């Protein structure tokens, strides 16, 4: 050991002091020396596992902590730290189980309640996460991490003011909490306060200049404030620091207005709507006055009054469109890229099948299975519609219908707007529809929803497969 005259208890205390001071290598050396003398020392195994987690080796951390638990299964902290090791391996459900074991062993373990809340939020269970995080804060009101994690869960449910309050509490407790500054920026942007959001992102960057998420948050805030050239600089910096992030590359291209992408990356769509799922319905039908599904249904009924259609709902989201078309459908199938949106759609109990998939690929794999394909507010995330129209035509039976909405473009074909939504020209829609073997049965211009209290003008189409 560090000193042959030391007792095991003394050596363990010395190692823990090194560990607490951030001297991980020195701590690990002593833990291993202890275990060489006494292999069945659970505290040394556990703490060596914690040290492995701190240096980024989650698998070794898991192995060591499990050995500690075999020797002493009733220690809450062991299970909590095993949960951390599992969470670092993206094994979220297993991690949540360990955190539950920890709080069952010690209901006053505020860190385990916090960890459980973070895991539940990552699993898409925001409401349960909030309960766990409030328990953590009740036990330890000055726990900055729990306040920030609670802010994240509240933000997912669209409770922006409450989320902001908890981010600010986290920062008041720990002014160096860089993630809390970043999260505050995100929620301020969501509340249409771009100047304050930019200040919060700059505070994060003052603490960590190479923090890519903060550069992205600053870029979003600057763009919302109309300062696009500055925003482009920070989008570019975010991409430079995190070059494998397709959504950020898309944001950069959209802000530059050059090298127009043919569609929004799948990962972007999934992340966007996973974050939106908790408050999607209320926001869309309330603040945005969204009514596209009903408008499309009215047009479909004019040309096809049958009540027994096999219907495919592309980009089904939470099921708002499906709820409109259910009465006309014998079979209703929904497809979406967002797991959390699909969870909400499943809770409606209206779909006969729900699939987590990209809509063009899904339609192409279902030849002549549908009487009606619906895409309400889904094509705004696709620029080049040719592949999708070809796939939809293949999925339709002869004489079947394709009903959809697009935002109205002034360009010759399609354009990507600063809202990150595509708009399409009527002539372009007609041209590619004809190429796919789809002929117009009806079209009309309409207000699809509100954006900043102004009407978003688009086109509603019903096409028939020839």
Please tell me the CATH superfamily of domain 272-465, with its number: Vaccinia Virus protein VP39 (3.40.50.150)
| CA–CA separation, 102 and 113 (whole Å) | 8
**DSSP SS3 for 259:** coil
- Residue-wise pLDDT tens digits, 86-130: 999 999 999 999 999 999 999 999 999 999 999 999 988 888 999
CATH of domain 175-259: 1.25.40.10
Checking if the pLDDT of 458 tops 80, the result is yes
Going from the C-alpha of 286 to that of each of 74, 253, 296, 463, the distances in angstroms are 50, 31, 19, 29
φ, ψ dihedrals at 110, nearest 5°: -65, -35
Residue recorded with tokens 């207000």:
447
pTM of structure? 0.81
401 contacts 372 by C-beta, under 8 angstroms: yes
- Residue-wise pLDDT tens digits, 322-340: 999 999 999 999 999 888 8
443 contacts 424 by C-beta, under 8 angstroms: no
φ, ψ dihedrals at 335, nearest 5°: -135, 140
- Residue-wise pLDDT tens digits, 178-197: 999 999 999 999 899 999 99
Q: Which helix (H) or strand (E) holds 168?
A: helix 160-173
Cα Rg of the chain (Å, integer)? 27
| CA–CA separation, 205 and 198 (whole Å) | 10
Task: Give the residue, 263 or 23, on which the prediction is more confident.
Answer: 23
Predicted local confidence at residue 277, as pLDDT:
57
Q: Could you tell me where in the chain the CATH 1.25.40.10 domains are found? A: 175-259
Question: Cβ contacts of residue 248 below 8 Å, gap of 6+?
Answer: 212, 216, 235, 238, 239, 242
Q: Which of 165-179, 254-268, 344-358, 388-402 has the lowest mean pLDDT?
A: 254-268
| CA–CA separation, 216 and 232 (whole Å) | 10
Core vs surface per residue 225-263: b (16+ CB within 10 A) or e: bebbebbbbbbbbbbebeeebbbbbbbbbbbeeeeebeb
Checking if the pLDDT of 1 tops 60, the result is no
| CA–CA separation, 141 and 147 (whole Å) | 9
Mean per-residue pLDDT over the chain, rounded: 91
Beta strand pairing status for 414-416 and 422-424? Answer: antiparallel
Q: What percent of the chain has pLDDT over 90?
A: 74
Q: How confident is the model at residue 310 (pLDDT cuts 50, 70, 90)?
A: very high
């Amino acid at each position: 050991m560090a000193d042959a005259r030391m007792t095991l208890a003394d050596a363990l205390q010395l190692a823990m002091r090194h560990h607490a001071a951030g001297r991980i290598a020195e701590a690990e050396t002593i833990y291993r020396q202890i275990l060489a003398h006494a292999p069945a020392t659970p505290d040394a195994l556990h703490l060596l596992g914690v040290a492995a987690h701190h240096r980024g080796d989650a698998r070794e951390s898991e192995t060591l902590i499990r050995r500690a638990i075999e020797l002493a299964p009733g220690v809450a902290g062991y299970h909590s730290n095993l949960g951390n090791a599992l969470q670092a391996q993206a094994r979220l459900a297993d991690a949540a189980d360990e955190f539950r074991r920890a709080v069952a062993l010690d209901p006053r373990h505020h860190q385990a309640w916090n960890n459980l809340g973070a895991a539940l939020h990552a699993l898409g269970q925001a409401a349960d996460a909030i309960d766990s995080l409030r328990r953590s804060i009740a036990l330890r009101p000055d726990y900055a991490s729990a306040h920030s994690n609670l802010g994240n869960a509240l933000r997912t449910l669209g409770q922006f003011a409450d989320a902001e309050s908890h981010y600010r509490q986290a920062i008041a407790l720990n002014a160096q909490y860089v993630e809390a500054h970043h999260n505050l920026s995100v929620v301020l942007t969501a509340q249409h306060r771009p100047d304050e959001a930019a200040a919060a992102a700059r505070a994060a960057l003052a603490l960590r200049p190479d923090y890519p998420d903060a550069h992205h948050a600053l870029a979003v805030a600057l763009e919302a404030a109309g300062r696009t050239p500055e925003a482009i600089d920070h989008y570019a910096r975010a991409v430079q620091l995190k070059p494998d992030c397709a959504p950020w590359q898309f944001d950069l291209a959209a802000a530059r207005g050059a090298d127009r992408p043919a569609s929004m990356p799948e990962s972007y769509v999934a992340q966007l709507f996973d974050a939106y799922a908790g408050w999607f319905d209320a926001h869309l039908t309330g603040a945005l006055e969204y009514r596209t599904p009903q408008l499309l249904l009215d047009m479909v009924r004019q040309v096809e009054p049958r009540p027994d259609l096999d219907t495919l709902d592309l980009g089904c989201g939470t099921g708002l469109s499906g709820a409109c078309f259910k009465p006309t459908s014998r079979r209703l199938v929904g497809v979406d890229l967002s797991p959390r949106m699909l969870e909400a759609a499943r809770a409606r109990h209206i779909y006969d099948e729900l699939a987590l998939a990209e809509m063009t690929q899904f339609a192409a794999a279902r030849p002549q299975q549908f009487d009606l394909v619906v895409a309400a507010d889904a094509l705004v995330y696709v620029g080049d519609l040719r592949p999708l129209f070809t796939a939809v035509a293949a999925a339709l039976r002869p004489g079947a219908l394709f009903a959809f909405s697009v935002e109205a473009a002034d360009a010759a074909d399609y354009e990507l707007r600063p809202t990150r939504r595509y708009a399409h020209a009527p002539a372009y829609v007609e041209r590619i529809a004809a190429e796919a073997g789809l002929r117009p049965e009806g079209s009309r211009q309409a207000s699809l929803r509100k954006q900043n209290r102004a009407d978003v003008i688009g086109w509603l189409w019903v096409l028939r497969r020839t």
